[in-house]
Amino acid sequence: MKRIPFLDSHTGGEPTRLISEGYPDLGRGTVAEQLNRLKTDFDTFRTQVLCEPRGNDVLVGALLVPPADPTCQLGVIYFNNVGYLGMCGHGTIGLMASLAYQGKISPGTYRIETPVGVVEATLHPAEIESSYPNRVSVRNVPSYRLLEQVAVQVDGRTIHGDVAWGGNWFFLCHDHGLEVSLQNLEQLTDFAWRVRAAYTEMGITAPDGHEIDHVELFASTAKADSQSFVLCPGKAYDRSPCGTGTSAKLACLTADGRLVPGQVWRQQSVVGSIFEGQVQVQDGDVIPTITGEAWVMAEGQLLMDERDPFGNGIQTQ
C-alpha cells in the first residue's frame, strides 16, 4: 500500500490540499519544467490525489517542489480536477498557513517559484500567540488586461467582458444581469459556462493560444468594493474571492484609472469571504498583492491500494 501524506486547509472557504512528499520524480529543472514532466508523464498522480473518491471537484492541489531559482525558498505546482493552474492566490495563502501549522516556516517573507513566475508570500504573525499564523499577503506576478469589453452573444443577448491575466486567464463580466448569491449558484454556473463556450467559439484566447478558462461575474455589495462569482476551469466555483482573479480585476481597475497604487480594494466571494488587494506599479508593470486567511482542517495519509478500481480517480470531464 502506497501512502501519501496530505494536509488540507481552506482559504475563505476554498480548499487546498498540500502534498510535500510521496510524489513522482520530476527532475531538478525549473518549476515550469517540473510541471511539464508531471503533466506529460505522471498526470495520474493528479487524478489520484485530487479527483473523487479521494478528493473532489472543488479541491486545488499544491505540490511543494524544490525551486530552481536560487533566490526562492519554495517551489509549488497547483492543480485541479481537470488540469494545472499557473498560479493560485488562495492556494498560496493555504500553503503558507499549512507550512506554518506544520512548524516549517515562521512569520516573514518567502519567495516562491511557480510555473508562471516568482511570487512573494508574507506570513504575518499570529494575533493569538498560541495559534499558528494564518494571515498571508501574496505579491503576485505582474497582471494586465489583454482585451477590453469584448462583446459576446449568450442567450440571444450581448454581454461584455475584459480578458485579463492575474497568474491565470480570466474573462471579467459585469453586465450579466444575474444575482450573485449562494441561492443562485446553478444559474451562475450554467451562465458562466455558456459565456466561456461562446467566447472560446469566437476564437478568444491568450496570446499563446491558452484558453481563457476562468469566468468572473461581478456585482456590487454593501460589504466590500465588489462581489464576484468565479467559475474555475473544471466547472467548480471558487469559494474564495480568487487571488489570481482579484489580481486580474485590480489590473483592469488600474488600467481604467479607478485604482491607484496603494489603494485597498476589498473583493468579496459568493460565499462572503473577503480578500484585500492593492497594486504597486513598477517599470510600467501592475503588481497586485492579495491578503487573506487560511485555516487547516484535515491531515493524514492518502492510501493507494493497487486493487482499487477507482484508485486513479473518477474524471468527469
Q: How far is the CB of 306 from ligand PYC (least distance, A)?
A: 31
Of residues 168 through 197, those in contact with ligand PYC by CB under 6 A are 168
x-or-dash pattern for ligand PYC, window 87-126, by CB under 6 A?
-xxx------------------------------------
x-or-dash pattern for ligand PYC, window 43-62, by CB under 6 A?
-----------------x--
Backbone angles phi, psi at 216, to 5 degrees: -120, 125
Q: Which is nearer to ligand PYC, 143 or 240 (CB)?
A: 240
Question: What is the SS3 assignment for 119?
Answer: strand
Choose one: 22-30, 62-70, 84-92, 257-265; the region binding ligand PYC (CB under 6 A). Answer: 84-92
Nearest to 168 by CA among 88, 105, 286, 92: 88
Report helix angle 31-41 to 43-50, nearest 10: 80
x-or-dash pattern for ligand PYC, window 215-254, by CB under 6 A?
-----------------x-----x-x-xxx----------
Q: Does 302 bind ligand PYC (CB under 6 A)?
A: no
* Per rule CB under 6 A, count of chain residues that contact ligand PYC: 13
CA–CA dist 225, 244 (Å, integer)? 17
My answer on whether omega of the bond before 70 falls inside 30° of 0, hence cis, is no
Q: How far is the CB of 244 from ligand PYC (least distance, A)?
A: 3
Question: What is the SS3 assignment for 34?
Answer: helix
x-or-dash pattern for ligand PYC, window 134-173, by CB under 6 A?
----------------------------------x-----
Q: How far is the CB of 140 from ligand PYC (least distance, A)?
A: 9
Instruction: Please check whether residue 110 is in contact with residue 96, taking contact to mean a CB–CB distance below 8 angstroms.
Output: yes
Q: Which is nearer to ligand PYC, 119 or 128 (CB)?
A: 119
Q: Which of 51, 88, 173, 252 is catalytic?
A: 88
**Does the annotation count 242 as an active-site position?**
yes
Q: How far is the CB of 137 from ligand PYC (least distance, A)?
A: 14
Choose one: 85-93, 95-103, 147-155, 184-192; the region binding ligand PYC (CB under 6 A). Answer: 85-93
Q: How far is CA 7 from the centre of its chain?
A: 17
**C-alpha cell belonging to residue 96:** 503558507
Strand 60-65 to 14-19 pairing: parallel
CA–CA dist 242, 219 (Å, integer)? 15
Q: Which of 72, 173, 242, 252 is catalytic?
A: 242
Alpha-carbon distances, residue 224 vs 45, 143, 219, 221, 280 (angstroms): 39, 22, 10, 6, 21
Instruction: Please check whether residue 50 is in contact with residue 59, taking contact to mean a CB–CB distance below 8 angstroms.
Output: yes
Q: Which is nearer to ligand PYC, 47 or 140 (CB)?
A: 140
Q: What angle do CA 31, 215, 207 make, to 5 degrees?
A: 55
The residue to which cell 473523487 is assigned: 52
| Amino acid at residue number 130 | S
Choose one: 81-89, 95-103, 150-158, 187-195; the region binding ligand PYC (CB under 6 A). Answer: 81-89
Query: Which are the catalytic amino acids?
Result: 88, 242
Binding residues vs ligand PYC (CB under 6 A): 14, 60, 85, 88-90, 168, 232, 238, 240, 242-244
